[in-house]
Structure 1
Amino acid sequence: MDLSATGVAPKDGKALAAASTTVVLWASAFVAIRSAGEHFGPGSLALGRLLVGAVALLGLLVYRREGLPPRAAWPGTAVSGVLWFGLYMVALNWGEKQVDAGTAAMLVGIGPVLIALLGGWLLREGLPPKLLAGMAVALAGAVVVGLSMSGGGGSSVRGIVLCLLAAVAYAAGVVGQKPALRHATALQVTTFGCLIGAVACLPFAPQLVSDLAAAPPSATLDVVYLGLFPTALAFTTWAYALSRTTAARMGATTYSVPTLVVLMAWLLLGEAPEPLTLVGGALCLAGVAVSRRS
Structure 2
Amino acid sequence: MAAVVLCWAYSPIGIHIGLESYTPGHLALLRFLIASAFMAVIALFAGIGLPRLRDVPWLMLLGFFAVVLHHVVLNMGQRWVSPGASSVLAQTAPLFSTLIAAFFLKESVSRWRWLWVAVGLVGVVLVIWADKGVGEFRPQGLLLLVAALSWSIYFALQKHYGNRYSPLTIVCYMVWAGTLMLCAYWPGLVDEVRNAPARVNWAILLLGLFPSALAYLLWAYVLAHTEVSRSVGVMYLIPPVAMVMAAVVLGSPVSAGVVVGAAIVVGSVIVMSRLKG
Structure 1 match to 2:162: 181
The corresponding residue for 1:236 is 217
Note if contact 1:56-1:232 (Cα within 8 Å) is conserved in structure 2: yes
Quick check: 98-107 or 282-291, which moved more?
Answer: 98-107
Kept in 2, the 8 Å contact 1:115–1:171? The answer is: yes
In structure 2, the partner of 1:58 is 40
Is 1:142 the counterpart of 2:124 in the alignment?
yes
Which whole-Å CA distance do the structure 1 matches of 2:262 and 2:207 have between them? Answer: 24
Among the aligned pairs, what percent are the same residue?
28
Q: Deviations over 1:220-245 (max 9, x none)?
A: 11111111111110111011001111
In structure 1, distance between residues paired with 2:131 and 2:227: 31
Query: 1:1-294, aligned counterparts within 5 Å?
Result: 19-70=1-52, 74-101=56-83, 103-151=85-133, 154-160=136-142, 162-294=143-275
CA distance in 1 between partners of 2:102 and 2:255 (Å): 36
Structure 2 contact 3–215 (Cα < 8 Å) conserved: yes
Gaps of 5+ in 2: none
8 Å CA contact retained: 1:27, 1:257: yes
Tell me, in whole angstroms, the C-alpha distance in 2 between the residues paired with 1:130 and 1:20: 24
Residues 26-52 of structure 1: CA deviation (Å, up to 9, x unaligned)? 001111111111011101110111111
Give the conservation status (yes or no) of the 8 Å contact 1:133–1:290.
no
Shifted more, 220-229 versus 96-105: the winner is 96-105
Q: What TM-score do the two structures reach when normalised by structure 1?
A: 0.87
Unaligned runs of 5+ in 1: 1-18
**Residues 24 and 34 (structure 1), Cα distance of their counterparts in 2 relative to 1, 3 Å cut:** same
State the TM-score, normalizing by the size of structure 2.
0.92
What number of residue pairs does the alignment pair up? 275
Structure 2 counterpart of 1:113, one-letter code: L
Contact 1:130–1:293 (CA under 8 A) maintained in structure 2: no
Question: The residue matched to 2:188 in structure 1 has which SS?
Answer: helix
